[in-house]
Structure 1
Amino acid sequence: MTKTAWVFPGQGSQAVGMGVDLLTHPTAAAKYQTAQSILGWSVPDICQNHEDKLSRTLYTQPCLYVVECILADLMQERGHQPHLVAGHSLGEYVALYAAGVFDFATGLALVKRRAEFMEDAAGGQMAALIGFNYEQLLAQLAQTPNVVLANDNSDAQVVISGTPEGVETLIASIKVKRAVKLNVSGPFHSPLMAPAAAEFQKALESVPFTDAKVPVLSNVEPTPATAAEVLKERLSQQMTGSVRWREISAQLPQEGIEKVVEIGPGKVLTGLIKRTSGQLVLENVSGAADLPG
């Protein structure tokens, strides 16, 4: 049997119309109904009819979680199971769900609170950098206050986060092919998120986790773990910690993984994994039409 990892994308991968093709599946219909009772609004309605809301953290994160969980459920209903899971930022919550660490409703309630705290964060800036000298970037980050490596995606693509001044200073001090400021409400995955993270921690502490059925590679610590207390502790650090996706990508073949299936809209993660671990077989399940038999 081919040793397979499932990976789940995070904020930025959302697309208008995502999940609408799943509405006819009984599993999906039940999940959408549960989600509406928790959120107070309809995920399919937002995904279909409200592009402005879909791009807002408050809605983006729950929508992605719900759609990706449904796709993971449908994969499992068809007899497919991962040997290992990982998710990028918000996607880590779907990975934990797919690994059986918490149930759908528990995870969605956490994601709802996370989205609310992150939506309220302000006073920061994030920027994607493409095409640079990686060692030079790390050296400059160490010398520049109030800016950190938020998403370490690959040697050629990262996201930095911090104060507007810190981000501007860093961009001006290195040679970069392209720098794109992100339309986000706050400095995610940086120490500036500490107040939001402290509030979220109160919600996280009250939620019971169970041991994962398959190993999880966490954003802040890309080594496999299944113990409930370890996974919860790692998740508690995620809001202020860096998403170490480059290391996760490199770790996959070290764990004997031969194939990676990205479950969710877009192909961002398989694109990043291809750069770091190009020998892996890569597949994408973005919607109903991509589901294997």
Structure 2
Amino acid sequence: MKTAWVFPGQGSQAVGMGMDLLEVGQDKFAKAAEILGWSIAEKCQGDIAELSQTEYTQPCLYTISAILSDLLKAKGYTPDVVAGHSLGEYSALYSAGVFDFATGLELVKQRSLLMSGASGGAMTALIGFDRAALEDLIANTPDVVLANDNSDGQVVISGTVEAVQSVCGQIKVKKAMPLAVSGAFHSPLMAEAAAKFADILAQIQFRDAQIPVLSNVEPTDATTSAQTLRDRLSVQITSPVRWREISLYLGESGCERAIEVGAGKVLTGLLKRTAPNLQLANISNLEQLNELVR
């Protein structure tokens, strides 16, 4: 059965996530503390407001996904293709063998610090809208973009506070939810952070992937090329997350099953809407892992 592993991004965090992995993943938790200077276990058992701060959320999600991915492989499972939502792309690249755990976590650490340091923008999630009307409105409103295209009926817009408010004031939606983020992620307003991160990326050695990777910025071309994957990652911070297209690709390219590897079930929820023929599973804890293995 052709299977995709998909890895969650920011927004999937929850207090208590990963706590049943402390023993089986002790080496990675220890390595993470060494790299980060703080304990992932402590953050995951603490306050949700603190855990939801970008500089903590991203390393915690990456580490948990990496441990679960390794456990799946130890049970003899291997995906045919991998993809991740924004931050989750780093977990996908780790799972595909593009870099080792420590290298990936160092990248995630630097990315999270650059993104959390951004300011002067806003993001709002929209649910239930006329897509054509929204796209037309965005095209005619400066300084706002469609940042996360999650499904036909769920997106996130990103840009200046004024531009985001302008769009929200003119489009009829079922629900609009401002996101508690410091800046306009996945928009041109992140250009300064992206330039700094590109310099960091340039120092990292990427390996060709052992498993094809679907990128957020080019969701119709799964590749194993180290250079291509690096190039795509370098523009990810300023580019839209094209998850709806990733979902369509998985549903139309012969994939029969998708397993969300990491905290929560956001991505399987999105996949169900866009690619309803896929068999879906979540592996966010040891109990679910053992259920899958039976």
Do Structure 1 and Structure 2 share a fold, with TM-score over 0.5?
yes
Q: Is residue 2:22 matched to residue 1:39?
A: no
Structure 1 runs, 4 residues or longer, greater than 6 Å off: none
Any stretches of 5+ residues in structure 1 without a counterpart? Answer: none
Cα distance, 1:251 vs structure 2: 0.2
Q: Structure 2 CA distance, aligned partners of 1:135 and 1:86? A: 27
Aligned to 2:75: 78
The structure 2 residue matched to 1:106, chosen from 103, 108, 120, is 103
Q: Between the two proteins, what is the percent identity of the paired residues?
A: 59
- Counterpart position of 2:145: 148
User: Deviation at 1:180?
Assistant: 0.5
Aligned equivalent of 2:66? 69
Which residue does the alignment assign to 1:279? 277
Of the three residues 249, 255, 260, the one matched with 1:262 is: 260
Q: Which residue is 1:90 aligned to?
A: 87
Give 2:57's aligned residue: 60
Please tell me whether residue 122 in structure 1 is matched to residue 119 in structure 2: yes
Cα distance in structure 2, aligned partners of 1:213 and 1:90: 20
The residue identity in structure 2 corresponding to 1:14 is: Q
Q: Structure 2: 5+ residue runs without aligned partners?
A: none
1:182-231 residue CA offsets vs partner (Å, 9 max, x unmatched): 00111000000000111111111100101111111100000211100000
How far did residue 253 of structure 1 move? 2.4
Equivalent residue letter for 1:243: V
CA deviations on 1:150-204 (whole Å, 9 max, x unpaired) are 0000110000000000001111111111110000111000000000111111111
SS of equivalent residue, structure 2 residue 241: coil
Bigger mean CA offset, 170-179 vs 45-54: 45-54
> How well do the aligned residues superpose, as a CA RMSD in angstroms?
0.7
Letter in 2 for 1:97: Y
Paired residue for 1:157?
A: 154
Residues 91-127 of structure 1: per-residue CA shift (max 9 Å, x gap): 0000000000000000000000000000100010000
Aligned pair partner of 1:138 in 135, 140, 153? 135
Cα deviation for residue 245 of structure 1 reads 0.2
1:255 positional shift: 2.2
Deviations 1:36-91 (A, max 9, x none): 11001110111012433211001000000001100001010111110000000000
1:22 aligns with 2:8: no
Q: Quick one: distance in 2 between partners of 1:253 and 1:126? A: 29
Residue 20 of structure 1: how far off its partner (Å) = 0.6
Residue 5 of structure 1: aligned partner: 4
Greater Cα shift, 182-191 or 46-55: 46-55
Q: Distance in 2 between matches of 1:50 and 1:169?
A: 33
Residues in 1 aligned to 2:119 and 2:76: alpha-carbon distance in whole angstroms: 44
Q: Number of residue pairs matched?
A: 290
Distance 1:189 1:242 in 2: 5
How far is 1:254 from its partner? 2.5
Question: 1:288: Cα distance to partner?
Answer: 1.2
CA distance in 2, matches of 1:253, 1:51: 34
Q: CA–CA distance in 2 between the matches of 1:124 and 1:108?
A: 26
1:193 equivalent among 187, 190, 194: 190
* Letter of the structure 2 residue corresponding to residue 239 of structure 1: I
Q: How does 1:245-256 map to 2 (within 5 A)?
A: 245-256=243-254
SS at 1:12 equivalent: coil
Which whole-Å deviations, capped at 9, do the CAs of 1:236-275 have from their partners, x for residues lacking one?
A: 0100000000000000023211000001111110111111
TM-score, structure 2 length as denominator?
A: 0.97
3-state SS of paired residue (1:242)? coil
Distance 2:50 2:13 in 1: 11
Tell me what 1:233 maps to: 231
User: What SS is found at the alignment partner of 1:257?
Assistant: coil
Aligned-residue offset at 1:24: 2.1
